């Protein structure tokens, strides 16, 4: 059985949704950030980077990083596109989310990672916030005229939901103004698996 290590509302939500979509039994283990469990020796054995998500496979092998976990789950559960071009597009989107959108947010939420000098924090946070918001607009544009990022529902769509929910929760943005992105959110909310994962993490979006 697969085990997902997650924290409510974190980027691990994408894998959580995909596991709910799978219909297979799995275990979801919460990593309590308020107790810095992500940096405990026991957790660092699973993910030496000290972050969620981590996925432990049936044979005990840990897989870490969304860039690895989401393609793995997508291929295993039929939420991954067929063919080299579609696959390249999927990897390109996952790379963009993981290496541009998420780090922009980290400059806002985890500013202490980027400077040892607290007097620089506000400027770094402001730049992170602006960059993150600019990426949200770009994501909205990518979705114009489309139901899903790719030709069919895939792991990319729940991953995009993570940043939508952060826009609401951490930045209190009027996310409804991103009409295409909001339509994607609404389509996702129609899926029982998405609802179950959100409920399990005590989230509405």
Ligand X SMILES: N[C@@H](CCC(=O)N[C@@H](CS)C(=O)NCC(=O)O)C(=O)O
Compute the distance between CA of residue 21 and CA of residue 192 in angstroms, rounded to an integer: 8
Rounded distance between C-alpha atoms, residue 127 and residue 92, angstroms: 24
**Minimal distance, residue 145 CB to ligand X, in Å:** 28
**Residue 123 CB, nearest distance to ligand X (Å)?**
21
Number of residues interacting with ligand X: please give it, by CB under 6 A. Answer: 12
Least Å from the CB of residue 204 to ligand X: 18
Q: Which of 91, 98, 127, 142 touches ligand X (CB under 6 A)? A: 98
Give 25 or 118: the residue with its C-beta nearer to ligand X.
118
Smallest distance from ligand X to CB 179, Å = 26
Is the CB of 98 or the CB of 142 nearer to ligand X? 98
Please say which residue, 98 or 124, places its beta carbon nearer to ligand X. 98
Residues in 24-83 that interact with ligand X by CB under 6 A: 38, 50-53, 65-66
Nearer to ligand X, 65 or 187 (CB): 65
In the shown chain, the binding pattern of residues 116 to 155 toward ligand X, with x for contact by CB under 6 A and - for none, equals ----------------------------------------
Residue 170 C-beta: closest distance to ligand X, Å: 11
Q: Tell me the C-alpha to C-alpha distance, in Å, between residue 2 and each of 50, 76, 157.
A: 19, 11, 21
User: Among residues 131 and 180, whose Cβ is nearest to ligand X?
Assistant: 131
Cβ burial 45-61 (10 Å sphere, 16+ → b, else e): ebbeebbbbbbbeeeee
Cβ proximity to ligand X: between 4 and 175 the closer is 4
Task: Tell me if 165 contacts ligand X by CB under 6 A.
Answer: no
CB-CB contact of 175 with 168 (8 Å): yes
Query: Which parts of this chain interact with ligand X (CB under 6 A)?
Result: 10-11, 38, 50-53, 65-66, 98, 102, 110
């Amino acid at each position: 059985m697969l085990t997902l290590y997650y924290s409510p509302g974190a980027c691990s939500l994408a894998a959580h949704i995909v596991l709910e979509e799978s219909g297979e039994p799995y275990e979801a283990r919460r990593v309590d950030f308020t107790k810095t469990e992500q940096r405990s020796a026991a957790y660092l054995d699973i993910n030496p980077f000290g972050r969620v998500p981590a996925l432990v496979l049936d044979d005990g092998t840990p897989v870490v990083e969304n860039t690895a976990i989401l393609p793995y789950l997508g291929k295993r559960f039929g939420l991954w596109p067929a063919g080299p071009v579609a696959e390249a597009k999927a990897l390109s989107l996952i790379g963009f989310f993981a290496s541009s959108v998420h780090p922009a947010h980290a400059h806002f939420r985890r500013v202490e990672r980027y400077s040892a000098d607290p007097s620089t924090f506000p400027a770094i946070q402001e730049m992170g916030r602006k960059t993150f918001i600019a990426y949200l607009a770009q994501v909205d544009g990518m979705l114009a005229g489309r139901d899903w990022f790719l030709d069919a529902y895939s792991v990319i769509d729940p991953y995009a939901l993570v940043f939508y929910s952060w826009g609401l929760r951490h930045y209190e943005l009027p996310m409804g103004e991103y009409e295409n992105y909001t339509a994607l959110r609404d389509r996702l909310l129609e899926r029982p698996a998405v609802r179950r994962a959100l409920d399990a993490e005590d989230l509405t979006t």
